[in-house]
Structure 1
Amino acid sequence: MDRLSNQTLDRIAQPVPGYDRHGLRAGIVHFGVGNFFRAHQAAYLDRLMNMGLADDFAIIGAGVMSGDARMRETLAAQDYLYTLVEQSAESSDARVLGPIVDYIAPGDHLRIIATLADPAIRIVALTITEGGYFIDAATGHFDPTHPAIAADAQNPAVPQTVFGLIVAGLAARRAAGHAPFTVMCCDNIPHNGNVTREAVVGTARLSNPGLADWIAAHVAFPNAMVDRITPATSDRERQMVREDFGINDEAPVFCEDFIQWVLEDNFPAGRPPLERAGVEFVEDVTPWELMKIRILNGGHAVIAYPAGLLDIHFVHEAMQDAQVRAFLEKIEADEIIPAVPPVPGTDLHAYFAKVAERCANPKIGDTVRRLCLDGSNRQPKFIVPTIAHRLERGLSVEGLALESALWCRYCEGHSDSGTVIAPNDPNWDLLTGRAQAAKTDPSAWLGMAEIYGATGTDPRLAQPFARWLAMLWDKGTRATLDAYLKG
């Protein structure tokens, strides 16, 4: 079977791009060409292009991390085409997407900056994960003292970070008299546009305060809420694409059939007509953002750590476990959903029911380990703010304290069966040491100011956390969940 490419499209029985890819013109540079981006933003663009729209908003990928090189090589070998497989519980549908037209390799800083300086580029988008924004968890703001940012401040012409590259691109546009591009964050971070603005302006200010003022005054950073469950690709998915759909694709993306994008309409340099593809434009994305981050992303954390400790592999298997599912349902109903402000036109309980249905989809093959990944960056964004919200109002955090204790217990590095948990966080060694110390001194965990801030010292969290953690060590996850569920 020939490799997926422009030359083999006419031999594929599944839907392929109905537009002339040779006629596409780049209008977007995207940092972070991973599975989520290819299943979400790129899928919307492909939908528009198949309508005969947005042919001047094709995507150029840009690599920054060394790991981006492999994705770039894989996609380049198949003309930047890839297969998207959307899966409901009942069916799987595949189609080939083609909105990506180029991908600049990591390390080619001069070409990235030159591309950013091109006035044809009107949007620079990011999916660089929650941990990529140099946020100081203790303050909740951009940390300009981070070594990577400090290095870019010393060498602004040869930046190594995404934000240094964006600043250099904006500097080149300003010098040439070109209007700035819009910076569009698509990561799961509260007020992600504001966070990105702070990182870009903060990086610029270290080396060029005048440029920083210009960026703050002239560059748009719309906030967005994005949603689609998109697991990692393995040999399993590559084999399924070959056997089930007859496509030899080394970089397929599998995802659920649900998709959502709520976006603030702030694009002075122009944008594709994304509303034609199903994007919802609103004045303020905050209500949707809080709903998604607290109910869905927070819910993922609630599922993840008990399932990880119980050696459950797939997320849908966790949802089939009566205790894990009941834990999720109780903590959502009692503590998380009441902490979410009203969302226009949305029933929050119905939204959660849809979340539970999505997590139970057996076709996705999403793993518990993926949900457990990077807790040191995710907990401060998805769980701790809900704890703080409830404490400020004098409300119980019993269930959220147990979720925190389960995360701590997971980070000790062994499941209940004694199976070793492979490192699953950029700060794994630190977390493991803290988790081990917390067996006798729970404050060793909650005292991580970079995770919990002042919330960790509040006795209304510390006391139930200590109690649940002791029970987890003494009686195990099953008995602890049972005690919580029985009230």
Structure 2
Amino acid sequence: MSITPLVQFGTSRFLQAHADLFVSEALQRGNALGPITVVQSSGDRSRSGRLAALAAKDGFEIRIRGVDQGQLVDREIRVSSVSRALSLPHDLEIVNEIVSGEARIILSNTADAGFRPSEADSQRQYSQDMSYPAKLTWLLFRRFSNHGEPIQIMPTELVPQNGAVLRELVIGIAECYPAEFRRWLDTDVIWVNSLVDRIVSEPLEPAGAVAEPYALWAIEDQPGLVLPCTHPSVRVVADLEQVETLKLFILNLGHTYLVSRWMNNEVPEHEFVRDMLGDQAVAADLEDVYAREVIPGFQLHAREAEAEAYVKTTLDRFRNPFLDHRLSDIAQNHCDKVNRRIASFLSWLRQENPDFSAPRLEAIVEKTAS
């Protein structure tokens, strides 16, 4: 079995079409640290077939379908970067050995439930009921106890400053561990903020996914940063704020705006995002919201030109004829998404102009709050 310097917590279709794919392509060029061990931290036995397929000798399939710079794209890629696929708690000792020794970078993309605090988080004995941050703390303590080398933690969850957030959660959980370990978490662990952007619309069975051509993994630079791979879709930036606001307040905001109309039964016959953009009235309304309420907000921050360019790219992505991006999927956790994507945008632009009017976006926030 090969050494796996990359350990990935999470088996999501997103990770398969993002980090796993990038590392696979980079490995072929000799531009990656090495292969990946995937760890399913939830203990969900129903996904055992997916685990086995992720580490299959011939890899798994990712289908890239959409429009790239005006050209129709429809191609298949075999991803072969996953060397091992393990599950907690069954493979706890093996995971412990890998994290304590050969791991150099830990990646994650866990479900929201994985971050919720648990009563088990306050104990030092491993429990499957622990949250993901508590499980990570438990494993890092074993690395510390074995005099392990420094390690880098790279969450990809869609949380602003995700590395800093995970660090604070781990530091808090580590209060029940020795003080020397808490100092080690500060001095020998690099916590990396990053932002990911790719629409992965549907899974393939038993593993694999369908994804759009557009992909971005923006990684915030810091001293000692090590990249898992060199790839055209991996970009190191001085500050994630510029990338975050474009994605959150244009692409994500647009998704939530469309879903708000769909949930209000204004366009109940539509199933996918592409259906909404195929409806001329809906498309015109969305473009008008961007033109009158969104781009002017970026203009207040002296970022009008880049916002206009990103809106154009976003509308092309929404119109992807191959992408089965279900409105019902986007509608999950709708209230939280309205707060993060629309209410936060209104607060952001009103930092520059408290009197700015965005009536359609304001109406969605008010309706969600009522």
Q: The TM-score by the shorter chain falls in which range?
A: 0.7 to 0.9
1:71 to 47, 50, 54: 47
Q: State the shift of 1:155 in Å.
A: 4.0
TM-score, normalization by structure 2: 0.86
Contact 2:124–2:176 (Cα < 8 Å) also in 1: no
Structure 1 gap segments, 5+ residues each: 1-21, 135-145, 239-248, 409-444, 447-487
Pick the structure with more helix per residue: 1
- In structure 2, what is the equivalent of residue 375 of structure 1? 334
Q: Percent identity?
A: 21
Conserved? CA contact 1:131–1:377, under 8 Å: no
CA distance in 2, matches of 1:196, 1:30: 15
List alignment gaps of at least 5 residues for structure 2.
none
Corresponding residue SS for 1:365: coil
Matched, 1:315 2:270: no
In structure 2, the CA distance between the partners of 1:302 and 1:50, relative to structure 1 (3 Å rule), is same
- Counterpart amino acid of 1:192? N
Once the two structures are superposed, the pairs formed by residues 156-235 of structure 1 within 5 Å of their partners are 156-158=125-127, 160-233=130-203
Counterpart AA for 1:371: I
Distance 2:54 2:189 in 1: 35
TM-score, with length taken from structure 1: 0.67
Instruction: Report how many residues are paired.
Output: 355
Deviation at 1:152, TM superposition (A): 1.4
Match of 2:320 in 1: 361
Distance 2:36 2:121 in 1: 26
Residues 36-45 or 382-391, more deviating: 382-391
35, 48, 71: which one aligns with 2:13: 35
Query: Counterpart in 1 of 2:236?
Result: 281
Q: Any conservation in 2 of the 1:31–1:128 contact (CA below 8 Å)?
A: yes
How far 1:322 sits from its partner (Å)? 2.6
What pairs up with 1:432-451 in 2 under 5 angstroms? 445-446=369-370
Within the candidate set 279, 300, 314, 2:255 is matched to: 300
| Structure number with bigger Rg | 1
Secondary structure at 1:231's aligned position in 2?
A: strand
Q: Hey, what's the Cα distance between the residues in 2 that align with 1:131 and 1:349?
A: 35
Highest RCO, 1 vs 2 (Cα 8 Å, sep ≥ 6): 2
Q: Post-superposition shift, 1:100?
A: 0.8
Q: State the SS of the aligned residue for 1:157.
A: coil
Q: Separation in 1 of the partners of 2:348 and 2:279?
A: 29
Deviates more, 1:187-196 or 1:103-112: 103-112
Change (3 A) 1:83 1:267: farther
CA distance in 2: counterparts of 1:75 and 1:346, whole angstroms = 44
Aligned-CA RMSD value: 2.6
1:178 is displaced (CA, Å) by: 1.4
Q: Deviations over 1:254-304 (max 9, x none)?
A: 001111121123474844342x44411122222111211221112111111
Q: Which residue of 2 aligns with 1:398?
A: 359
SS in 1 for 2:41: coil
CA contact (8 A) 1:225 1:289 kept: yes
Q: Is the 8 A contact 1:191 1:286 kept in 2?
A: no
Could you tell me which of 64, 67, 71 is aligned with 1:86? 64
Pick the structure with more strand per residue: 2
CA contact (8 A) 2:202 2:324 kept: no
Aligned to 2:121: 152
CA contact (8 A) 1:122 1:271 kept: no
